[in-house]
Chains A and B, each alone.
Chain A
């Protein structure tokens, strides 16, 4: 062993050289990743999150802010928002009503219930300071335990943890390295299903508009027929949504979103998604739905926000405008977005708020 220590010097020079090469290679890759050239050939970016749709939205919003100088309104929610709200139509309708043209972005992400969305809302508000946050919600957001398969991995993700203020090297590296962000969409290149997953990812990346809207091309079948609890394909839905209860923890999440109007100066408007009325059969009927609306409406009002019930836009959506009982498709989304634009004008007028961010350049 003494002989090994005799060669201490060469060992340390080898170590220093290795570390130096690591640094040099990393810096070169980092510089390369920040060139417009790479952005052109591979615009795909990731923060190693399991929900790649979140990543598409996260970076699309970054690009949107870069090209528009900021964002005035962020529409937040689940996949219902993703395929149901076209921000361009919403902004256009609002413009026709008011003469103002706000910069609106759709941040609807598949599988995100109110728990992860309350965190996402904080990240978006702290980073982009929008004038208005439209949180589009529905009854399923408030069922305890529903959507945990998305919530848990999302909230435990190293990058999300880093954003939460819990430092970890992975989260830090992913957040700061453009090279890593450009590599990560291809991180599973060695997986047997990679060709399918990457093709699907690229399709959705390109299907998503610059303002975050992703049209759904499906058209729902028999969605106006009441669901039958004895139908084997419906059993799980009745099991998941039956005995409907609003969980207190979910209300806490809603409160944390509403608190932005007090703490961050971002107004919050809670909008109920006009799902197909046959959905309410799962939860116990229209009476349960109305009770939900009362509870949420009074909760939102008490906490300084405003609530728009589903009925406000329900009648504007044609039957072929839905891809299933919950989601709107490419036919229904423009109707809802247009109606939401009208309602936004009324809301802004009633609340005397300005949905246009003044601080950010236009």
Chain B
């Protein structure tokens, strides 16, 4: 069941209406049931795997909660189990071929299709949540959940199952037990969160994705430099609006159940530093990485070398954190390079504070804030190149981009000649125009972000007069109807992680 489908709307509406009609003691079983129904529409195997993962972690948590000694070993068993499940099921592409060959050589026949392993959707998100659950119990900041059903709901809760947000058990489990009925204001906010999500996903991300020629990520050497730049810019907004759109929709849906999910995106492309970017991009995962990789690594290193400005303390925690982030997105050199690049950016930022004391970003002059935001945006966009393609292709992509300067030179030549009157204004023979469709879509994308930033409220529509909101929704409905005729639908990118 796709979350932008009509069936999903009906499914959610029925689930929510029944949910609030039920007494509290039946609400968790009901949420569990509808979540399982949702998962079953994706796959039976997925449902089975999630139940096994949830059950194992539930009992590990209980054991960890009562264990007096060997708690650390138990924790590592739990972490090992979740990492192993993730590697075995999600990253099977990397070893199934070799394993099949090995088994065949040993005389073990695996059948015509070889070892077909399952690739459960959302497992990366669930694995990190399970690890944080066990670590929190180990660190005694969370008591293990006593009810299997409640804990399993934490795993399978359908709004966050496919692509997060990565929620902490200590925050979400109490909400399951005592959901806060949305008042009129909250209901309206949830509704507009869904609307914004749909705008981001269907109107912006899907359209931009369809505009980008698929061949550009396979044979970038066949494209002109200016096209490589424009389509990279488009891709940056695709990946952002796609994931932010998804998160907005699921937050809206979850809000109707009285369960607030984390806001994963806080206008990340307006960040004025790389560390600020990671406070605004995929916030729930960034926080997880900060709490369970960065801080523990920093603490461990500081115990050995208790000086903050030591090179090891400056370099290792960010690079380790970002490499883990890269690996979480997928096993491949390109993801490691993407993570490594962000780690490198963070190191440069940290090292620069050695010579000049760090100032609060909001205290910087406006022009420096804008310049910093532009610089951060360029660095982040460049890092999307290895994120999207293998390293060889990424290199071709990157090395093709500087030829955009020739295009700029050509543009200036045309303008100069036209101003001098030697070339007619309607004569652009030999000049290659940029894909204007990208810019047509970037305008509303930036406008949406800018409005959200200016109002400091993602659902700024709620403050509009009723007729304004109704007009906006009417236009959106008509736009969606028109878009529905196009053959450009695309799945959510982050469902693949």
Is B108 an interface position by the 8 A CB rule? no
Q: Is the CB of A4 within 8 A of B488?
A: no
Q: Which of A132-140, A189-197, A255-263, A329-337 is found at the contact surface with chain B?
A: A189-197
CB atoms of A187 and B470 under 8 A apart: no
B307 interfacial contact with A, CB 8 Å:
no
Q: Determine whether A202 belongs to the interface, using a CB cutoff of 8 Å to chain B.
A: no
Partner of A187, one of B467, B469, B486: B486
What CA separation (Å) do A18 and B437 show in the bound complex?
28
- Establish whether residues B478 and A191, one from each chain, have CB atoms under 8 Å apart when the complex forms: no
A22: min CB distance to chain B, Å:
4
**A187-B482, A191-B210 known; A7 and B470 CB under 8 Å?**
no
Structural contact, B437 and A189, CB atoms closer than 8 A = yes
- Residues in A whose Cβ lies below 8 Å from that of B207: 190
B485–A187 touching, CB < 8 Å = yes
Q: Do A7 and B469 touch across chains, with their CB atoms under 8 A apart?
A: no
- A192–B211 touching, CB < 8 Å: yes
- Taken together as a complex, chains A and B put the C-alpha atoms of A19 and B419 apart, in Å, by 51
B434 contacts the other chain (CB 8 A): no
Contacts of B475 in A (CB 8 A): 21, 25
Q: A170 vs B78: C-alpha distance in the bound complex, in angstroms?
A: 53
Q: Which residues of A contact B181 (CB under 8 A)?
A: 1, 3
B182→A4 contact, CB < 8 A: yes
- What 0/1 pattern do residues 6 to 28 of A give for CB contact below 8 A with B? 11001001100111111001100
A191 to B, closest residue via Cβ? B210
B466 sits at the interface (CB 8 A): yes
Complex Cα gap A21–B478 (Å) = 10
CB distance from B257 to the nearest CB of A (A): 11
Measured CB to CB, the nearest residue on chain A to B187 is A4
User: 1/0 per residue B166-188: CB within 8 Å of A?
Assistant: 00000000000000011110010
Contact status of A22 and B184, CB under 8 A, knowing A1-B20, A192-B210: no
Inter-chain contacts of A7 with B (CB < 8 A): 184
Minimum distance in angstroms from A95 CB to a CB of chain B: 43
Do B478 and A14 touch (CB < 8 A)? no
Which residues 163-197 of A have a CB within 8 angstroms of B?
180, 183-184, 187-194
What's the nearest-Cβ distance from chain B to residue A3, in Å? 4
Report if A55 contacts B (CB, 8 A).
Answer: no
Closest to A195 in B: B435
The chain A residue sitting closest to B207, CB to CB, is A190
* Residue on B nearest A48 in the bound complex, by CB: B485
Residues of B within 8 A of A4 (CB): 182-184, 187
Q: Is the CB of A192 within 8 A of B214?
A: yes
B402 at the interface (CB under 8 A from A): no
Q: Are A21 and B184 in contact (CB-based, < 8 A)?
A: no
Inter-subunit contact B474/A188 (CB<8 Å):
no
Q: Are B211 and A17 in contact (CB under 8 A)?
A: no
Q: Of B211, B486, B487, which is in contact with the most chain A CB atoms at under 10 Å from its CB?
A: B486
Taken together as a complex, chains A and B put the C-alpha atoms of A331 and B212 apart, in Å, by: 41
Q: Which residue of B lies closest to A21 (CB)?
A: B474
Residues of chain B lying within 8 A (CB to CB) of residue A194:
437
Q: How far is the CA of A332 from the CA of B33 in the complex (A)?
A: 69
**Once bound together, how far apart are the Cα atoms of A13 and B466, in whole Å?**
8
Whether A191 contacts B467 by the Cβ 8 Å rule is no
Partner of B470, one of A1, A17, A180: A17
Contact B469 A21 (CB under 8 A): no
Q: How far is the CA of A189 from the CA of B488 in the complex (A)?
A: 10
Between A and B, 22 residue pairs with Cβ closer than 8 Å are A1-B20, A1-B182, A3-B184, A4-B182, A4-B184, A10-B466, A17-B467, A17-B470, A18-B470, A18-B477, A20-B474, A21-B470, A21-B471, A22-B477, A48-B485, A188-B210, A188-B487, A190-B206, A190-B488, A192-B213, A192-B214, A194-B437
Interface residues of B (CB under 8 A from A): 20, 181-184, 187, 206-208, 210-214, 437, 441, 466-467, 469-471, 473-475, 477-478, 482, 485-488
* Beyond A17-B466, A20-B474, A183-B485, 18 extra complex contacts between A and B, CB < 8 Å: A3-B183, A4-B183, A6-B184, A10-B184, A14-B469, A18-B470, A18-B473, A18-B474, A18-B477, A21-B471, A188-B487, A189-B437, A190-B441, A190-B486, A191-B210, A191-B486, A192-B212, A192-B213
